[in-house]
């Protein structure tokens, strides 16, 4: 009987850097960026992740940007070897699964994450669009924290309210730490912010929410994405704090310090 073929991942890159978004801002993370995304958000700053490239790039020395390229897909054992090489003692606070949308490769993650925990002992943080609850349920036991988006239709062009609600409830019912991130722009509809605040509050008003002002972006497919005004940010934070205990405003800080 032939041996079962090894599971493989579709990757964009692996590198060590400073987390620039959300509640983990400023911490050192080992990033595993997965290819593929089923969303097409207008503000996306990584459209190269939407499809699977022929090659991924792998940093050889943590933080040195000495990338080498390898063909996709990547066998599980090879990925573990790359992580082990990057995992210098005491350097990383956690491992970030990012993309793209990592949950599109949940079948791989179910096998990969238990081995990742045994290899590194590091907390695992999932960055996700927050719209795939069925795939989340497959890997929740192996996650320590989740940063999920709520996609505001007026900003992202996506409408995923029901999926976001189920996704957040799954996180809240588990032992995982979760926070919600909303991208806000000059065109944000405040009614959607209220709807998002109520969605989170219905689950728990104690769940932290991050308002992330959009980084200016020129897109060939959509109108330019412009950040909100200072007045809009203050008004919208106040609106959401009527419903929630913790609403912070945190921009993409890695863009300010030239991190990946």
Please indicate, yes or no, if residue 197 is contained in any of the structural domains. yes
DSSP summary character for residue 64: S
Whole-number average pLDDT of the chain: 93
Please indicate, yes or no, if residue 190 is contained in any of the structural domains. yes
Question: Confidence class of residue 175 from pLDDT cuts 50, 70 and 90?
Answer: confident
pLDDT score recorded for residue 2: 41
Q: Which of 71-85, 176-190, 219-233 has the lowest mean pLDDT?
A: 219-233
Q: Nearest to residue 41, comparing CAs of 212, 175, 173?
A: 212
- Identify the domain containing residue 96 by its residue range: 8-256
Residue 186: cis peptide before it, omega within 30 degrees of 0? no
Tally of domains in the chain: 1
What is the share, in percent, of the chain residues with pLDDT greater than 70?
A: 95
pTM score? 0.93
Question: Confidence class of residue 220 from pLDDT cuts 50, 70 and 90?
Answer: low
- Rounded CA gap, 187 and 218, in Å? 15
Please indicate, yes or no, if residue 3 is contained in any of the structural domains. no
* CATH number, domain with residue 174: 3.20.20.70
Per-residue pLDDT at 221 exceeds 70: no
3-class secondary-structure state, position 168: helix
Please indicate, yes or no, if residue 112 is contained in any of the structural domains. yes
- Rounded CA gap, 30 and 94, in Å? 7
Please indicate, yes or no, if residue 179 is contained in any of the structural domains. yes
| Cross-strand bridge partners of residue 184 | 213
Q: Nearest to residue 11, comparing CAs of 61, 62, 63, 53?
A: 53
Which residues does 209 contact at the CB level (< 8 Å), separation at least 6? 179, 180, 181, 182, 196, 197, 200, 240, 244, 246, 247, 248
Please indicate, yes or no, if residue 2 is contained in any of the structural domains. no
């Amino acid at each position: 009987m032939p041996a079962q073929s090894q599971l493989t991942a579709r990757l964009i890159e692996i590198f060590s850097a400073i987390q620039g978004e959300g509640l983990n801002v400023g911490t050192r993370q080992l990033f595993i960026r997965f290819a593929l995304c089923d969303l097409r958000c207008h503000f996306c700053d990584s459209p190269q992740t939407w499809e699977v490239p022929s090659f991924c790039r792998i940093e050889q020395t943590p933080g040195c940007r000495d990338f080498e390229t390898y063909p996709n897909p990547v066998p599980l054992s090879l990925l573990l070897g790359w992580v082990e090489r990057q995992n210098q003692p005491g350097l990383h606070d956690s491992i970030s699964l990012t993309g793209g949308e990592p949950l599109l490769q949940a079948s791989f993650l179910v096998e990969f994450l238990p081995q990742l925990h045994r290899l590194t002992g590091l907390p695992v943080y999932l960055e996700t669009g927050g719209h795939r609850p069925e795939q989340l349920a497959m890997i929740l036991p192996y996650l320590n924290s989740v940063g999920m988006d709520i996609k505001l239709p007026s900003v992202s062009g996506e409408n995923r309210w029901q999926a976001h609600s189920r996704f957040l409830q799954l996180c809240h019912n588990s032992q995982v730490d979760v926070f919600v991130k909303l991208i806000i722009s000059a065109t944000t509809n405040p009614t959607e912010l209220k709807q998002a605040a109520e969605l989170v509050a219905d689950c728990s008003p104690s769940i932290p929410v991050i308002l992330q002002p959009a980084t200016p972006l020129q897109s060939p497919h959509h109108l330019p994405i412009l950040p909100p005004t200072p007045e809009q940010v203050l008004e919208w934070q106040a609106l959401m704090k009527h419903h929630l205990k913790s609403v912070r405003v945190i921009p993409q800080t890695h863009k300010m310090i030239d991190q990946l």
